Amino acid sequence: MTAPLIEIQRTRSPRPRPNTPDLGFGRYFTDHMFLMDFDPARGGWHSPRIVPYGPVAMDPAAGALHYAQTIFDGLKAFPDQNGEIRVFRLDAHLARLNESAKKLCVPQVDVALVSRAIRTLLAVDASWMPEQEGTSIYIRPIIWASEGFLGVRPAKTYTLCVILSPVGSYYASGAAPVKIWVEEKLTRAAVGGLGAAKTGANYAASLRAAEEAKARGYAQVLWLDAKEHRWLEEVGTMNLFLRIGDEVITPPLTDETLLPGITRASVLELLREWGVRVSERKVSLDEIKKASAAGQLHEVFGTGTAAVISPVGELGYAGGSIRISEMKPDSIAMRLRQAISDIHYGRVQDRHGWMTRVETLESAA
Ligand code: COI
């Protein structure tokens, strides 16, 4: 079977590039987007196309709007030292998109086609790649249930869309340590729920606690498990890592309440290569309070596509707070941040095969 052609309809009114040294996260969007529709009556996914970025028509009865049958992923493209664009762990992200799809009864996508769609879209909007240090293009694929039907069951039709956003730091504080609130009442995800899927519902569930944390002066929430409110899970939009003594710990994925982060997996791989003692194990709030009191809690940091590696400077909770010592340049978090960004920007050889090059449109043709 021949690979489907991706039609390209170019914008007639390209928009001005953001004229700011501080792009922030997710505020600006490039000139084009990718769309593709799913309809069993048309053989499944059909009509892959790149069109000018803009609003899409949606049936007000669409399942995504009512019952949150929608999934997404988030990944990044970086310029290398020759100015070519490369995507970090494209296949791993698309595999995760398909895992999220299974959990939300969304049809599987053809990874090769969506990979080509993302690379083509990046080639079309290549001139949107920002130039400042630490910036990239954030790629957001999303699939929503588009069928207009109010009964509760998986929809019959879907739309897949990919948009691109030139981004800087996720946090306004940049790489400076963030203050995190440990949420002991509200929960993000329970065992048997959707915690491991990248789906809007998990983020909707996080908003109230995050707003309350912000009102207390904290940037994000550290989630505890939904049953005992004791075990550390995730921090805001990131996976959590701690260094206690000489052990680096991250909560395990076994309960399927955490998002299986691609940066998390990359960090684990690097730490193991470096010979660091690393454990995927449960860690309780009590354990870190005790480790902190004993001077053994050396580092806390979050990992994620948007935030990359973000050191945590303070954990606040009802009744106290834990201050984590100043990040030193030789801290694990700083070494990881450097190592991962060296891979992102092609300053070191891509030994793991994590970067996928974006062909220019001429050479892809
Ligand atoms: C990520 O870091 O993986 C994200 O996609 C974060 C996003 C929800 C803001």
The atom of ligand 1 lying closest to the CA of 304 is 2
CB 209 within 8 A of CB 221: yes
Q: Verify that 227 and 253 share a domain, yes or no.
A: yes
Please indicate, yes or no, whether residues 145 and 226 belong to a single structural domain of this protein: no
363: pLDDT strictly greater than 50 = yes
Q: How far is the CA of 364 from the centre of ligand 1 (A)?
A: 29
d(CA 113, CA 130): 26
* pLDDT, tens only, 292-332: 999 999 999 999 998 899 999 999 999 999 999 766 778 99
> Are 237 and 255 contained in the same domain?
yes
- Detail the DSSP E strand segments found in 9-114: 32-39, 44-52, 70-72, 75-79, 85-88
Q: Tell me the per-residue pLDDT of 181-234, one tens digit each, with 9 for 90 and over.
A: 999 999 999 999 999 999 999 999 999 999 999 999 999 999 999 999 999 999
Look up the pTM and report it: 0.96
Average of per-residue pLDDT across 124-149: 95
pLDDT of residue 361: 81
Mean pLDDT, to the nearest integer, of 68-76?
A: 98
H helix or E strand, kind and range, residue 272: helix 262-273
Residue 292, Ramachandran bin (φ over 0: left; ψ between -120 and 50: alpha; else beta)? alpha
Considering only CA atoms, which residue is closest to atom 5 of ligand 1?
74
Provide the residue range defining the domain that includes 18. Answer: 7-168
Atom of ligand 1 nearest to the CA of 238: 2
Q: According to the model, what pLDDT value does residue 210 have?
A: 96
Residue of 205, 179, 148, 208 lying closest to 324 (CA atoms):
179
Closest residue CA from atom 8 of ligand 1: 237
DSSP string of 84-103, one letter each residue: -EEEETHHHHHHHHHHHHHH
CATH of the domain at 22: 3.30.470.10
- What mean pLDDT, rounded, does the chain reach? 95
In 136-263 the beta strands, taken as DSSP E runs, fall at 136-145, 158-167, 178-183, 220-224, 232-235, 238-244, 247-250
**Per-residue pLDDT reduced to its tens digit, 153-169:** 999 999 999 999 999 97
Looking at the predicted structure, is the pLDDT value of residue 81 above 80? Answer: yes
Q: Are residues 138 and 277 in the same domain?
A: no
Statement to judge: residues 44 and 78 lie in one domain: yes
Q: What is the mean pLDDT of the segment spanning 241-253?
A: 97
